[in-house]
């Protein structure tokens, strides 16, 4: 335990708000996470019974299939286009607003998982080809809703966006068993998650 | 969309509280999910930078490494021992209480992931060897806190317990970027999750 605490303390020192954050190091951590998400979704969803993949939380909420469709949409239209606008125009041109609702989705889940994996590979290759420096990561762009943001923040959000949808997927899947678990629902935090924004 | 809605409606009919639930069908859905969790955790965590695997949400909260240690502990001491007590003693003997806090953990994450995968394989093989019937799944045992529960509920909880910890993992990991994302934190639901029970 001592060993783990010491390692945690080291990380806390490295990244505490009082210290300086090494943005290129953070970028490598971001990319490490982004590169895994397709395999995570594959392991979690491909070939699973439809109760886990096609059902939602009622009404117009999203099923896991719709979450994957949304991630594809984000991969196509959101992060890398914004990276390019930021690097080319800085704060003089706002990012295009991101349409968060996915289009109606008729494709099977297996096809969506393949497409997401392909797009993510292409986007990470495009990101790597930019050879971003510490100075690049501090450059600023203009978000249409909340104004000035840095490239480092945009790229960190790409990773956190994957995690927010993994959080959503686990919640949507658990929801299907909300009655099946009987009295254990009291012990399962995921069944009391109010959904937040997604 | 019509096609998906129709499939969803079919599921809703099959599993609505007004209808009858096919418990052996549900068991196959439970097992399908349980069998994937080791690969999901592997894809999500193995070899990732330590910011994603060793950091927690502050204080005595759990890091992803501790979540995997907890899942190992649950695999060893919780579900299958309870299944056996239920089948042997019914409601005449309470399950042993489950100690939710994992022991201090010194082993590296890669070893924990291997161990979890091995234990899950063994437990699913043991479950399959029971050849549970519809009648077995309706049999009742005695939970030390909330009394009478069915075997079907216990097994559904095994799957939902995986999902509650996947929900926790995504939240703990996202927490590490709570400052890095800057103003985007307003859009990332996972950063506003209050943790619920885990």
- Does B91 score more than 60 pLDDT? yes
Predicted local confidence at residue B87, as pLDDT = 95
Chain B: closest CA distance from residue A11 (Å): 7
Between chains, do A181 and B195 touch, taking CB under 8 Å as contact?
Answer: no
Please give the residue of chain B at the shortest CA–CA distance from A163: B170
**Residues on chain A touching B26 (C-beta within 8 angstroms):** 180
**Shortest distance, CA B147 to any CA of chain A (angstroms):** 9
Helices of type H across chain B = 2-15, 23-45, 50-53, 64-77, 79-89, 109-129, 134-138, 151-175
Which of A32, A161, A190 is facing B196, going by the closest CB pair? A190
Per residue in A149-180, pLDDT (tens digit) is 999 999 999 999 999 999 999 999 999 999 99
Q: B145 Cβ partners below 8 Å, 6+ apart?
A: B97
Residue A150: closest CA among chain B residues belongs to which residue? B182
- pLDDT score for B3: 35
Q: Is A17 a residue whose pLDDT tops 80? A: no
State residue B33's pLDDT score: 98
Report the 3 state secondary structure along A18-73.
CCCCCHHHHHHHHHHHHHHHHHHHHHHHCCCCHHHHCCCCCCCCCCHHHHHHHHHH
Percent pLDDT > 90 in chain A is 72
CB pairs under 8 A between A and B: 224
Cα separation, B18 vs A8, in Å, equals: 50
Tell me the per-residue pLDDT of A83-130, one tens digit each, with 9 for 90 and over: 999 999 999 999 988 776 656 788 999 999 999 999 999 999 999 999
Minimum distance, in Å, between the CA of residue A135 and any CA atom of chain B: 16
Q: B164 and A56 in contact by Cβ < 8 A?
A: no
- ipTM, two decimals, is 0.88
Global confidence as pTM? 0.88
φ, ψ at A140 (rounded to 5°)? -115, 145
Each residue of B144-154: b (16+ CB within 10 Å) or e? eeeeebbbbbb
Residues of chain B neighbouring A184 (CB-CB closer than 8 A): 149, 153-154, 156-157, 160
Query: Which is nearest to B113 in space by CA: B47, B32, B34?
Result: B47
Contact A46, A110 (CB under 8 A): yes
The predicted structure's pLDDT at residue A193: 78
pLDDT of residue B19: 45
Mean of pLDDT values over B67-84: 94
pLDDT tens-digit map of B12-70: 444 444 446 788 889 999 999 999 999 999 999 999 999 999 999 999 899 999 999 99
Nearest CA in chain A to B105: A1
Distance CA A12, CA B147 (A): 44
pLDDT of amino acid A6: 45
Give yes or no for residue A41 having a pLDDT over 60. yes
Question: Measured between alpha carbons, how far is residue B15 from residues A188, B9, B25, B190 in Å?
Answer: 21, 10, 11, 29
Q: At what angle do helices B109-129 and B64-77 cross, to 10 degrees?
A: 30
Residue B71's pLDDT is what? Answer: 95
Residues from chain A that touch B59, judged by Cβ atoms under 8 A, are none
Proportion of chain B above pLDDT 70, given as a percent: 85
Contact A50 B7 (CB under 8 A): yes
Between CA B165 and CA B72 the distance in angstroms is 12
Report the alpha-carbon distance of residue B106 to residue A82 in Å, rounded.
43
Please give the share of chain B, as a percent, with pLDDT higher than 90.
Answer: 72
Contact list, A149 vs chain B (CB under 8 Å)? 182-184
């Amino acid at each position: 335990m001592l060993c783990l605490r010491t390692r945690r303390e080291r990380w806390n020192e490295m990244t505490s708000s009082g210290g300086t954050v090494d943005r290129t190091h953070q970028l490598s951590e971001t990319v490490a996470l982004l590169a895994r998400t397709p395999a995570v979704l594959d392991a979690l969803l491909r070939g699973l019974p439809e109760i886990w993949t096609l059902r939602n939380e009622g009404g117009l909420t999203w099923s896991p299939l719709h979450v994957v469709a949304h991630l594809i949409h984000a991969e196509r239209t959101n992060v890398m286009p914004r990276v390019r606008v930021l690097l080319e125009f800085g704060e003089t041109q706002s990012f295009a607003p991101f349409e968060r609702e996915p289009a109606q989705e008729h494709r099977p889940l297996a096809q969506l998982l393949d497409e997401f994996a392909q797009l993510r590979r292409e986007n990470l290759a495009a990101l790597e080809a930019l050879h971003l420096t510490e100075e690049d990561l501090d450059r600023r762009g203009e978000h249409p809703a909340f104004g000035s943001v840095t490239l480092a923040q945009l790229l960190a959000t790409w990773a956190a966006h994957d995690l927010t949808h993994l959080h959503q997927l686990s919640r949507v899947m658990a929801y299907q068993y909300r009655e099946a678990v009987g009295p254990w629902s009291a012990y399962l935090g995921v069944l009391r998650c109010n959904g937040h924004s997604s």
